[in-house]
Each structure stands twice: as C-alpha cells, then as structure tokens.
Structure 1
Amino acid sequence: MLGCVIHGAGDLRVEELPDPEPGPGQALVALRYGGVCGSDLHYWRHGGVGDFRLREPMVLGHEAVGTVLAHGPDASGPAPGTDVAVHPATPCGACPECADGRANVCRDTRYLGSAARFPHVQGAFAGRVAVPAGQLRALPAGLGLRRAVLAEPLSVALHALRRAGEPAGRHVLVTGAGPIGCLVVAAAKAAGAARVTVTDLVPEALRYAAVAGADTLVRADDPEDAGWPEEVDVAVEASGVAAGLDTCVRLVRRGGVVVQLGMLPPGHSPFAGNLVVSREIELRGAFRFDAEFDEALELLAARGEFDGLISAVVPVAEAGAAFVLAADRERSCKVLLDFAG
C-alpha cells in the first residue's frame, strides 16, 4: 500500500508500506480520504511544527476517513463495512489534565502524525491503518466520506469558539482565512454569531471565507479598507503570525476575549501586550479538541456549505503535487488526498 512519509524539511516521499495487522483493541481501516493540514505542510516545509521537530521518518496525516475492514482481538466499535471518521487523539486518561476534563492538553497523549513525542506517533496517510477502535466514529446518516474528512479541523474550530464563549449575537473577528479560519467562520455563523469579520493578506483566501459565511472581508495589509471594525466582541487568531494576534488585541472590546488558535513560530512574538492589562482583555489559548469531534460530525451532516471549502482531491500517488497545491493559498483552501485503490 502507498503511504506519505516525511523524512525531513522538503523531503516528502510516497512509499510502499507494509500492510498493518490490527492488534488488541484495534480496528483496521481502509483509508479513503486524508486532509492535508497546516501542520503537515509545516513538517514538509520546515521539518517541524512550532517546537515539535522531526527526529525520524514519520507517516503524516491526522485528518482521516475510511471504511472499517476488521477488528483485532478484544476490539469493539463500528462493524466491518462501516464508514468512519478517525479521532486522531489517544489521551492517557490518568494525568491531572485528563482528570480535569481537558484531555486535549493531556501531557502524555498520542496524536496521529505528530512529532511531539519520540518515537513519533505515525500518522494515517496510508492505504490502511490500524488504530484503537475507540477512536472510530460511524458517520451520521447522510454524511459522506468526502465532507466527513473535515471533522478534525472543524473540531479545532469548534473548540476555539468554546474557549471564546458563546458566539450567538456577537461580532466575531477571525484573523487568517486558511482552512481553519474558514471553518471558524462557518462554525460561528452556525452558532448564531451576529457578524463575522475576516482578515487576510490573500484575496483568494478571503473568497473562501465568503463561501464559509463571512459577513465582512478585510485586506489585512490595507489600513484604509472600509471593512475594518471599530471593535469586536470576540477575536480568534487563526493565521499563526504575531501581526494577527496584535490585530486581535487592538480590535477586541474592553473586557473582550482573544483566542490564540494559530500556532506561532518558535521563540518570542511581539504584540500589544499592554492592552491586555489596560483593557482587561482575556487572552486564551486553544489547542486541538476533545468531545467536539462528535459535534463536528453532526454539524457536517446538517450543513452543505462546507463542501465549498474543499478545493481539490488528488490521488495519493501525486502527494507531492498535492502538498504544493495546499501550500499555495492563491489556489486552494482544503486539499484532500484520495487513497481509493
């Protein structure tokens, strides 16, 4: 079977991998689609994500959907033949964070396709993967595999909004119109946000934000853009650059909430920190997700606008071209790898 293996910065290889056998408590899944995530692009471009650096070859991928083929010993879950989405996290269940109901920041979690620990946790970009059966979710009625692959990034967006508080009736600012930013837009509108303003440097990215339901689009490099709000109730930073965080802090109202969702570059990031003090702004981080995965699947089943964020589906044999396309924000939003066959 074919798999996508990252060996270092700029060194992505499509390789023949051995067929896995499901072990105790595991299920074997035939992958159909895998979504190329910003973190996958970071491993490909830079050899790491934030402070997580590659130390060995690693199968990429944590946005994965497919069909159950078989169960290993003592495994229970969706039956063979069931279409499923794969929850990529296996928290330890024993640390203080897990005990506090915050498994998304578990200090000993295993996350598919992540170099956060060593040996790395191999990812799901392979024709067949063996994963804990408890990580599988049968797709709700009416939800196909193609749209369901958005469940993981949509869960990230839903968790960020949960960290921000109830968006209904509020003006939400999103800095960064990449796939995650666009999904924050769609999730905020679905939750009843009164207005969503999105900023980005790339006009084509802003057009995808409009597809997601944004009310106002702002060119981040144009201080004279008429769309700039005077203030907003909630700001979600989804660009992963310090300028985006600075914008959020400057535009959120006094006593408002800023959620840092994008992973900033390693090291120090300058922003208007004094405003956090003088305006009593609440600055909160948002990392991955937990139970939002099931909520994301239900939301995807209920709403069709998410289809417009899938810009291309590329055969896995052409993964190199898919990564180039996914990195080109003028040509793509969410790019999928197709593992059929």
Structure 2
Amino acid sequence: MSIHLPASGPAVVAHGKGDLRIEDIPLTAPAPHEAVVEVAYGGICGSDLHYWLHGAAGESVLQEPMVLGHEIVGVVVQQAFDGTCPGVGTPVAVHPASPASGNVRYPEDRPNLSPGCTYLGSAARYPHTDGAFSRYANLPTRMLRPLPENLHLRTAALVEPASVAWHAVGRAGDVKGKTTLVIGSGPIGALVVAVLKRAGAARIVAVDMHDKPLEIARAVGADEVLKGDDADAIAAVDADVVIESSGSHFGLASAVKGATRGGKVVMVGLLPSGPQPVLISLAITRELELLGSFRFNNEIDEVIDALADGSLYIDPVVTHEFGLAQGLEAFEVAKNSAESGKVLLNFRP
C-alpha cells in the first residue's frame, strides 16, 4: 500500500557558484530495490554550503545541476518493489553512503574508505549523485534505518552528523575519565562534545572564535569554553584527546599545542586540499598520534539507539528551522556560523 505520488515535487538544486534554486523536479520511478521516502527534515551541511557558495566542495566540482542534501529523515510512503523492508509508514533515517569495490586496497571493515564510495548530494563523480533535499526521494532500502517510535523526526534529523561525531570520538579509543579538547564548536564540534559527554570524558573543553557556538557547546556538555585566539589557555588544557573539527590549519595548530605528551589528535574537520602548514615538529617531539576521521560506518545504529534512550543529548545543536519555501533564507542563516548552529529545512507542506 502507498499514497498517490505526484509527478514532480520541490527540491533544493545547486546550479553553480552562487546559484541555488528551489524548483520542481520530476519524481522518477524507483528502482526495484528503492523505497520512496517522503522527506520530513533535512539538515544543511557544510558541503551543501560549499556547493552553493563556491560551486564545489573541495575537489568535487559541480558540472551540472545537482539536488543537495544528505542529512535527512522522513517516512516511507512506497515500499521497494523487491519486497525489502522497511514498509509503508515507517519513519527512517538515512545512511547516505554507497560503498563500491575497486582495485585500491582498503580495510574491509571500514567501507567509509572505499575508493569508489558515493554519497548523496555529492559531485565527487560524474554523473553526480543527487541528494535528497526534495519532497520525495527514491532511496535504496539498505540506506534506510527505521526509527523508534519515541524518537521525534526533528531530533533524528541530526543522526547523520551525530554519526560523524561518534565515529571521530571512536577513533580516539576509550575517553572515559580523560581530559578532552574540541577545537571548533560548530554543529560537528558541538555533537562531538555531546558524544564525549555520553562516553564519560572527565573534562571537556570546547574552543571557538564565536560566542554562539560556545553557548551551544556548554548546553550539550562542555565543562569549559575558550576563545580560539587564547593560545596560552588552549595550550594549558594539556588534553589526552583533542578532536579538531574547525577544518583550518589554525585549528590544527591549536590542537597540537593543546594535546598532552603522548596524546591523540583526531582530525575530523576537513582542511582544504593541497599542502597545509602543520606543527609537525611539535607533534613528533610529543609523540602525538594524529588520526584522520572520515564520515562513519555502522555507528549510525548506535547513535539512533542513544538518541532514543536519551543518553545522547543534542537538542540545543538545532538553532533554526525553515520551511522549504524559505530555503534560500535558510542557507543564508546557515552560512553565518557566528549566529547559527544546525539549520533544518522542513519539507512538509
């Protein structure tokens, strides 16, 4: 059983640098392994902003119009024709990755490192992989994660970025009882703070250049907050684990300085491509472990469980919500990191 679906629906489409449009797109027939999801909420990610502002996210350059969006939740309105679950009426979160095999080696238990991996709303390959900032989206059932009845869709809209944060903290190992430092308190940084809190970190210090992100970081569990230009105070933290989520070489320098000897620095903030200045001599003499963190794997299931049982508290991370008709205004607000946390689009009529 399914609802009657229209021939087209509104979507957020990036056409090029500075060219973002809310426009109708055709609703094509789903493949046998795809369910049709009526999207409820979508969170605006940094990559969405980059495609709008620069026509590219890193080395992924727009070559044709592309539907944005990979942080989405919704309800199944048409079950996949091959009979795979979930069924009609099931609220779902979405794991937006499609790992692919290739001739480049990577650990089998870490499909996020698959060289041919595609992601919803990504121009990394051509043809591009459309995202799901649309009223309806055809999605492979393997991407869909049924949500518990007690988990509100608005909260579940943060499942994807919270999984990124969960994976980053996991890269550091056991943080229980440790001093931790989070550089950059935007949405990912704030979610890292929330995950560290749940994981039992003894002391969580959050850093940012702006007051609003630090306010959010405190609300989700930071014990102390510091301004990003207070180099002496950051260095004095002497953290066992540092999570760098600013995505700048200045933030990475602060991370290295703020780490204790023999400590770990997890780099989840994606720096621009090309050479970057790094305090590598200090990292060497302190025997720091520098660890990359990229997207996530099955952590999404743990995140859903933690949100459902209330042990992961992330509500303050969402600061704004806009209807789809106000989508362009939503992107304007989202780009102002000094005044906003996570900005949600509400796709419901």
Query: Which TM class, normalised by the smaller chain length?
Result: over 0.9
Q: Which residue of 2 aligns with 1:302?
A: 309
Matches within 5 A, 1:117-136: 117-136=125-144
| In structure 2, distance between residues paired with 1:263 and 1:320 | 25
1:218/1:228 contact within 8 Å kept: no
Q: Which residue of 2 aligns with 1:140?
A: 148
How far residue 222 of structure 1 moved from its aligned partner, in angstroms, is 2.9
3-state SS, counterpart of residue 130 of structure 1: strand
Among 314, 318, 324, which residue is 2:326 paired with?
318
| In structure 1, distance between residues paired with 2:173 and 2:232 | 30
3-state SS, counterpart of residue 328 of structure 1: coil
1:215 maps onto 2:215 in alignment: no
Q: Which residue of 2 aligns with 1:23?
A: 31
Bigger mean CA offset, 260-269 vs 33-42 = 260-269
Are the structure 2 counterparts of residues 77 and 96 from structure 1 closer, same or farther at C-alpha, using a change threshold of 3 Å? farther
Q: Count how many residue pairs are aligned between Structure 1 and Structure 2.
A: 340
Q: Which residue of 2 aligns with 1:61?
A: 69
* TM-score (ref. length: structure 1): 0.96
Q: Which whole-Å deviations, capped at 9, do the CAs of 1:155-200 have from their partners, x for residues lacking one?
A: 0001101111111111111100100000000000001011111111
1:81 maps onto 2:94 in alignment: no
Q: Which residue of 2 aligns with 1:34?
A: 42
3-state SS, counterpart of residue 180 of structure 1: helix
Bigger mean CA offset, 18-27 vs 303-312 = 303-312
Bigger mean CA offset, 168-177 vs 294-303 = 294-303
2:107/2:113 contact within 8 Å kept: no
| Structure 1: runs of 5+ lacking an equivalent | none
| Structure 2: runs of 5+ lacking an equivalent | 1-8
Report the residue type matching 1:267 in the other structure.
G
Q: Which residue of 2 aligns with 1:252?
A: 259
How far residue 237 of structure 1 moved from its aligned partner, in angstroms, is 0.5
Q: Which whole-Å deviations, capped at 9, do the CAs of 1:100-120 have from their partners, x for residues lacking one?
A: 211011111121001111111
2:231/2:254 contact within 8 Å kept: no
Bigger mean CA offset, 120-129 vs 53-62 = 53-62
Report the residue type matching 1:90 in the other structure.
S
| In structure 2, distance between residues paired with 1:320 and 1:118 | 26
Are the structure 2 counterparts of residues 338 and 219 from structure 1 closer, same or farther at C-alpha, using a change threshold of 3 Å? same
| In structure 2, distance between residues paired with 1:230 and 1:17 | 51
Among 268, 273, 278, which residue is 1:271 paired with?
278
| In structure 1, distance between residues paired with 2:166 and 2:231 | 30
* TM-score (ref. length: structure 2): 0.94
1:50 maps onto 2:75 in alignment: no
| In structure 1, distance between residues paired with 2:137 and 2:344 | 17
Bigger mean CA offset, 67-76 vs 175-184 = 67-76
Q: Which whole-Å deviations, capped at 9, do the CAs of 1:74-95 have from their partners, x for residues lacking one?
A: 1401110111111101112566
Identical-residue share of aligned pairs (%): 45
Among 262, 285, 291, which residue is 1:284 paired with?
291
